[in-house]
């Protein structure tokens, strides 16, 4: 009987250690992922995402993908800041704002201005194109390209959703942002 009790105790202790180790691993794992997928600039993202009806997880995913949260980022085509907005796109978005502001293109290196316009742009594109995936195609490849793809049967079987993205880099971008959105939602319950 004594041997059986010792064996049961050993099994119980082993299970306790394994369960404790699993919880510790899960905690460390979540801490690591939260550092790799931060909610940087939350003080700007939350109010503007709420005001424009854009998913916070989408905003963080775009910022992480576009600039890795570097407000001074600039692309080879001159897109600026956290959400990588070009001058033409900025002017287009600004012309559609209900309340005019004094933000200039030069101000897009400032996190608040860039986030405000980036979120507003995501709102406009989602309204225009009807889905997040289509909006991301337009965000990355341009409004005109997304319109052409929706009108072409080889890229859109129904004229509503882009099924086949002809630019490989845009296809990878849409997929990466989509996967990053899922990670943000699982880490932060967004």
Q: Which residues are catalytic?
A: 66
| Cα dihedral 147, 152, 155, 160 sign | positive
Phi-psi region of 159 (alpha: psi -120 to 50; beta: other; left: phi over 0): left
First to last CA, the chain: 54
Which positions ≥6 away from 29 have C-beta within 8 Å? none
Q: How many CA atoms lie within 13 A of 132 on its CB side?
A: 18
Cα separation, 80 vs 100, whole angstroms: 21
């Amino acid at each position: 009987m004594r041997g059986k009790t010792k064996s049961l105790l050993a099994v119980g202790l082993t299970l306790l250690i394994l369960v404790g180790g699993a919880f510790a691993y899960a905690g460390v794992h979540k801490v690591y992922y939260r550092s790799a997928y931060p909610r940087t600039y939350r003080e700007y993202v939350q109010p503007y995402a709420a005001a424009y009806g854009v998913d916070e997880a989408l905003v963080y995913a775009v910022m992480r993908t576009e600039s890795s949260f570097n407000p001074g980022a600039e692309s080879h085509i001159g897109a600026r800041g956290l959400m990588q907005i070009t001058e033409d796109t900025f002017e287009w978005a600004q012309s559609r704002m209900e309340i005019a502001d004094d933000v200039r293109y030069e101000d897009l290196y400032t996190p608040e201005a860039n986030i405000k316009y980036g979120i507003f742009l995501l709102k406009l594109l989602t309204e225009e194109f009807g889905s997040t995936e289509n909006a991301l195609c337009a965000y990355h490849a341009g409004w005109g390209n997304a319109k052409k793809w929706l009108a072409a049967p080889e890229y859109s079987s129904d004229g509503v959703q882009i099924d086949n993205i002809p630019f490989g880099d845009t296809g990878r971008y849409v997929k990466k942002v989509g996967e990053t959105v899922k990670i943000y939602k699982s880490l932060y319950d967004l």
